[in-house]
A and B are shown apart, each in its own frame.
Chain A
Amino acid sequence: MSRIKVTYKNFGQVIAMTVVIVSLLTVSCEEKSDHPLPNQQINTIVVDGMLTNELKRQEIRLSKPFSDPNQNREPVTGAVVTVIVDGLTVPFIESTEEPGLYQTSQPAAATIDKTYHLQIESAGETYTASTYMIPIAAPNQPTFQYVPDTGLYQIQWNNPEYSPFETAMYEADISWGHLPAYTNDSLTKARLTFYTLNTIDVSYIIFPQDKEEVYFPYGSIAILKKYSLTDEYAAYLRALLAETEWQGSIFEDARGNLPSNISNGGLGYFSACSVIADTVVVE
C-alpha cells in the first residue's frame, strides 16, 4: 500500500476532461422556466454576522427574507444587538448610513479560543447564537492568470476543494475602478469566494456546474483573505454551497434548509473567524 501516494490536490481537475466527454453524451440542456416564484410572507430575521480577528468595527447585518430573489433586501431596523464575551457585553449600534447594519462603536478584534454569544431583540422577539474562533494556517495565495482571448485576468485558486486537514474560506475582493480605462464602468469590483471542505461532494469536486467567468484588468487591486472555519460553520457553508452553487447539478442532493445556529427560527449564521489577509496588485 505504501507505493500509493495520496494526492488530494485538484481531485476534480484531474478528471475534468472526462467530465466534458461525459457531458457530450448526457446532452443535458438548461433553459429558462416559467415556474412560478413563491409568494409567501415569512416572519423571521436573517443574521449575517462574522466576527474576525481583524481590528476593525465588527459588523452584523440583519435583514428579512423575501419572495423574489431579485428584489431589494429589506433590512431589519431598530433591533438591539449585543455580543457577550467573557462576561463583557459589547453593543452593536445600527449604522445611520446603511439600515440593518449593526457595528461596534469602536474597532475591536475577536480572538481565538473564546466563545461569543449574540443576542438580538427585534419586534418583541429574542434571537440568540453562540460561536467560537479557531486559528488558521498560512494560505496558499491565489494567483492571476492571463486569458489571451479577453486580454484580462482570471483568478486561479491554488487550494484543493477537499482536504482532510483543514477547512477554510478564501475570498478575493478585487477592484479596478481606479484604473482610468474603467472609471465609467457600472461594475468595477468583484468579490469571489472559494472553499476547502473536508467532505467529498460530488457536485463540487467531480461534477461542478458551469460558473460565471469573472475577468479583471491588469492593475486591479485584490484583497485576498483566508478565513478559519469551525466544523459547524464549515457545515453551514457546505449547505450554503449545496443550495447555491451546486443546486441543479447533475448529481444534486435533496434540497433542504441550511442548519442555522440562530435560535427562535432565525436564519443565517453568526460566526467568528481568524483571518489572514494580503493585498496584491494583479499583474
Chain B
Amino acid sequence: MVKHILAFCLLLNFALAYGQNDLLNHKVTLHIKNATLNSVLEMITQQTGVNFSYSNQSIQSERTISIIAEDKPLTEVLNEISEKLHLQFKVVKDQVVIKAAKEKPAEEEKFTISGHVRDAETGESLPGATIWDPTSQSGTISNNYGFYSLTLPRGSYGLQYSYVGFEQQLLQIDLQENMRKDVGMTLNAALLGEVTITTDEKLETIEKSQMSKIRVNPATLNTLPEFAGEVGLIKSLQTFPGIKTHSDGSAFFFVRGGNKDQNLILIDEAPVYNPAHLFGYYSVIIPDVAKEINIYKADMPIEKGDRLSSVIDVQTKDGNLHNFGMTGVLNPLIHRFAVEAPIVKEKSSVFASYRHSNFRWLYRLANADAALYLFDLNFKLNWKISKNDRLYYSFFYGKDNFTNQRINETGGIRWYNFTSTLRWNHIYNSRLFSNLTLYTSTYNYNLLADATIWESEINNVTINYDFSYFINPETSLRFGINQTFHDFNPGNLTADENNPYIPKVSGSKAAKTVFYVNREHNINENWSWKIGARMPIWTMQGPAVIYQFDSSYNVTDTLTFQEKDAIKTFVNLDPRLSLKYRISKNASFKLSWGIYHQYLNLISNSISPFTSFEIWMPSGTNIKPQRANQFAVGINKFLEKQKVEFVAEAYYKKMFNQVDYEPHANILLNPLFEGELRFGTARAYGLELSLRRTEGRLTGWISYTYSRVFKKIDGLNDGNEFPAYYDRPNDFSIFLSYHLSKRVNISANWTYYTGSAITTPIGFYSYNGSTIPLYGEKNNDRLPDYHRLDVALAWMLNKPGNNFQHSLSFAIYNFYNRHNPVSVNFNKVETKEGKFVVPANLYGTQDVMVTQKYLLGIMPSITYKFKI
C-alpha cells in the first residue's frame, strides 16, 4: 500500500512539474522600449495565453521597462523582468503570480562587551571564567589573564558570569555601544571549606573544540593525600587518564606514549627543565602558588608547544589587590610561607612564596658537616598601569643542595632552576587583546669534588608577542610570533684549561623563530572547529665542534663552527585541526589531529626514577627534530543531575626521530656521545575513560586507561619493535574526597597499573669469575603490577569563615605498605646480616639471588596549615 501511495505521489509531482514547465516554455518575442510593466505583461498574455496575477501596488506595475526577446522561453523573459524590477514570480496552477521580491534583512548592528573577570575579594584575575547569554545561547571564556570579549547584537541582555567555586554573577546590560565591564566574583559561601573540581557545564558548551585538556583546580590538588607534607603536581598527575609517572618518588612522567622529555612545564610561560626537588620526591610546582593549572595531552594551544606529548601550563597567583594575606605550612620535613599584599590598593600587588626543607634533624648526628637542603622562591608583582595596560613580573628560583662542606673536602651535587617572566597585557580595543612576554629560564646541574666541577646547563631567552582577536561570538583568532635563543652546555669539567687530557664536550647555541595562527569558529549551534598552524624555524648555531659519523658510528669528520655560524636549520609546519559536534545540550563529540615537532632532547640512558645527570641537547646535525602525528577522538557527557562528567578519548600517535641509546652508552663527558645515540620511531595508542563528580559532599574522579607504546630503533633489538619502559596497558586510579562535616574532610586515592616493561636475562654466562646476564628481546619482561592506597584526613581547627584559618592534615602514603619494585636484579648475595650486596670475591661460593628494589613503604605525615 505504502508503495502505491509513494508511486502516486511521485507521478503527481512529475505531472505538476511538467505542467509548470509547459507553461513557462511558451516562446515569446518582444521588442519593447520604455513600456510599463502592465503593458508588457498584457503583451505576453496575448502571445502565450498565460495569465498573470499581481497587485499593481505591490509590484508598482506603472514602472517602465525595455526588453528585447526573440522567440525566447517565457521563463527567461520573466527572469529578466524580475531581475530588472526586483520582482519574483511563481507558477500557481495555470497562472503566474508576480510579487515584489523580499528585501534582504539589513545587517544587525553588533557591539562588544569586554573586560576582566576577577575575584572580588583579592582582585586576582580569573582565567577560564564563563560569560553566558542564555537568550542567544552564546558565550565566551576569559583568557589566561581573565580578559573576555563577547560581541552581541544591539539589545538588552542578562549575562551570567560563572567560575567554579564562586557565586554566579548576573549582569543586566543594555548593549547600545561597545562597553567595558570588569566583574568581581565572590566565593560561594555555601562552599567555604569545601573544594569543588573545575568542571563547568557551560565551559563545555562554550569551548569550541578543545580536547584532551584537563583543568586542575589547585585547591583540588590540596585535597589529595600528601606525601611528606606536600601534594606535588607531578604526583597528582598519576591520577589523571593518559598520564603515567615513572614510579614512587619520581618527577618523570609519560603522556600518551611520549617519552619523559616530551612534556613542557611552564610557570608563567617560562619553561622549567627539571621539575624535581630531591631527585623527584618533591615537585617544584606548589599547588598553593598556582592560580590555574591546565594540562594538554593533545590539541596543544597554538602559542605553546614544540614538545610532542604534553603542555602543563601553570599560572601563578597575582597577589591580593585589596588586603594583606598570609599562608603557611609546617611539616617535619618541609615548611613554606606565602604572603600577598597590595602595594597601591586596586592598582598593584605582590605575591611571594618561600619553601625550605627541614631535613637537618634527620642527618645532623650522622654527619654534621653535610648541607642537605632544598628551597624555592616564587615572586610575582603586578601593576595596573591603565585601564588597558597591565604589567606582570614573576620569577621562580628553586635549588637543591646535597654537599659535604668540610674544610678542603667539599663535594656533592647541586642543581637549580630559575625562570623569570615579564609580561605586558594590552587591550587595543574591546576585541583585540595582546600579551607581550619576555621570559628566561635556566637549569644548571653540577657535581663537585673539591675544585673539580662537572657542570651542565641549558638556558633560554624568549620574547613572545601574542594577539587574541575576538571577531564575533562565533569566531576568534589567535596569532603571534615567538623568538627564542638557547644556550647549551652538555656537561663539562671545570678545570685548568691548559690540561689537554680533559675531554671537552662541545656546547652549542640555537635560535628559534615561531609564527603561529589559529582560528576558532562556531559553524552553527552544533558544529564548531579550530584550525591553526605553527611554523617553527630552528637553527643550531656555533660556536661548536660537530662530529660526523658513518653508519658504524665512527667519526668521519670534525667540523668547527664559530660564534653565530648556522650549523643546521629546520623549517617545519605544524598544522592542527579540531572539530566539535554538540550531540545534545550536555554532550559533545570531538576530534583533533595535529603534527608536533620538538627540538630539545633530554639525553640520558638511565632507567632510574630520579632526575640527575640528564643533559639537554638541541636538534642539529646528528639529532633530527622529533616529530609526532597525533589523532584523537572523544566524547564528553555532563550528567547534570548527578553532577558527573564523563569523558572518553581514544588516540593514535606516531612519533619519528625518537632518541634511544646504544647498550651501555657513554653519555657523560664524552665528546662523541652523539655516536652513542640511536634513532627510530614509536607508536602509541590508547583509550582513556574518566568520570568526575564535581559537587556535593562526595567528590572525586575515577579514571582508566588502556594504552600501548612500542618503539622501533635502528641498531637495537635486531631492528624489531619492542615495548617502551612506560608501556603499561592497564592504568586505573580512583580518588574520593568526602566532607564528614564543614570542618572535617577525608580523602583516599588508589592507583593501579600494569608493571613497567623491563629487560630480564634469558640466561647467564661466566667470564673472569663474574656471572653475566644474557639478554634476548629488549623489554621482554615486566615488573610486578603497581598499586598503592593513600589516605588523608584534613581537620579545620576553626569555624569556616574566620579571618584566621588553620588546619591539621594527617596523611598516610602507601597505606598498606605495598612494596612496588623499581627494579628486579640478578646480581646480589646475602650477607649474614640479611643485607643484599654485590659479590666482590670472584672465588666466592655464595648463591646469587634474585632481588627487587622498592623505594617507598608506608609513609605517614602530619602537616599544620594556616591562613590569615
Contacts and interface: CB of A to CB of B under 8 A. Distances in A.
Contacts of B502: 6, 164
B850 A32 contact: yes
B663 A15 contact: no
B499 A6 contact: yes
Interface string B595-615: 000000000011110101100
Interface string B837-861: 1111111110111111111110000
Contact of A251 (B499, B610, B762, B769): B610
Contacts of B372: 18, 21-22
A190 interface: yes
B729 interface: no
A7 B852 contact: no
A248 B828 contact: yes
A33 B822 CA distance: 12
A248 B853 contact: yes
A73 B767 CA distance: 11
B741 interface: no
Contacts of B610: 26, 250-251
Given A30-B851, A67-B763, A192-B842, A210 B835 contact: yes
A90 interface: no
Given A2-B496, A33-B851, A63-B766, A242 B664 contact: yes
Contacts of A63: 765-766
Contact of A268 (B665, B670, B765, B845): B765
Contacts of B367: 17-18, 20-21
Given A244-B772, A254-B661, A7 B452 contact: yes
A1 interface: yes
Interface string A149-162: 00000000000000
B17 interface: no
Interface in A186-238: 186-187, 189-193, 199-202, 206, 209-214, 235, 238
Given A200-B668, A256-B775, A27 B495 contact: no
B407 interface: no
Interface string B811-833: 00000000101111111111100
Contact of A6 (B452, B758, B841): B452
B279 interface: yes
Contact of B370 (A17, A42, A67, A259): A17
Contacts of A239: 663-664
A34 to B, nearest CB: 8
A42 B762 CA distance: 8
A21 to B, nearest CB: 5
Interface string B516-534: 0000000000000000000
A120 to B, nearest CB: 15
B424 to A, nearest CB: 40
B773 A46 contact: no
A124 interface: no
A37 interface: yes
A181 interface: no
B852 A4 contact: no
B856 to A, nearest CB: 6
B689 to A, nearest CB: 31
A131 to B, nearest CB: 15
Interface residues of B, number: 107
A18 B764 contact: no
B402 A22 contact: yes
B850 A38 contact: no
Nearest to B665: A253
A40 interface: yes
A1 to B, nearest CB: 5
Contact of A24 (B362, B837, B851): B362
A25 B497 CA distance: 38
A252 interface: yes
Contacts of A68: 764
Contacts of A254: 605-607, 661, 663, 759
A19 to B, nearest CB: 8
Contacts of A73: 766
Nearest to A41: B763
A206 to B, nearest CB: 7
Given A40-B762, A200-B668, A69 B848 contact: yes
Interface string A33-65: 111011010100010101000000000000111
B821 A33 contact: yes
Contacts of B498: 2
A14 interface: yes
Contact of A14 (B449, B496, B497, B670): B449
Given A6-B452, A210-B837, A253-B605, A21 B850 contact: no
Contacts of B838: 209-212, 244-245
Contacts of B764: 65-69
Interface in B625-664: 661, 663-664
A182 interface: no
A182 to B, nearest CB: 14
A186 B763 contact: no
B94 interface: no
17 contacts: A14-B410, A14-B450, A18-B402, A18-B403, A18-B404, A67-B764, A69-B764, A187-B844, A191-B769, A200-B454, A211-B840, A212-B831, A212-B837, A240-B770, A252-B607, A255-B663, A255-B758
Given A18-B404, A48-B766, A268-B767, 7 more contacts: A20-B366, A38-B760, A46-B767, A164-B503, A211-B840, A250-B610, A253-B661
In order of increasing CB-CB distance, the 9 nearest A-B pairs are A256-B663, A248-B825, A14-B411, A15-B411, A33-B852, A6-B495, A212-B840, A191-B842, A239-B664
Interface of A: 1-8, 10-11, 14-15, 17-18, 20-22, 24-35, 37-38, 40, 42, 46, 48, 50, 63-70, 73, 164-165, 186-187, 189-193, 199-202, 206, 209-214, 235, 238-240, 242-245, 247-248, 250-259, 267-269
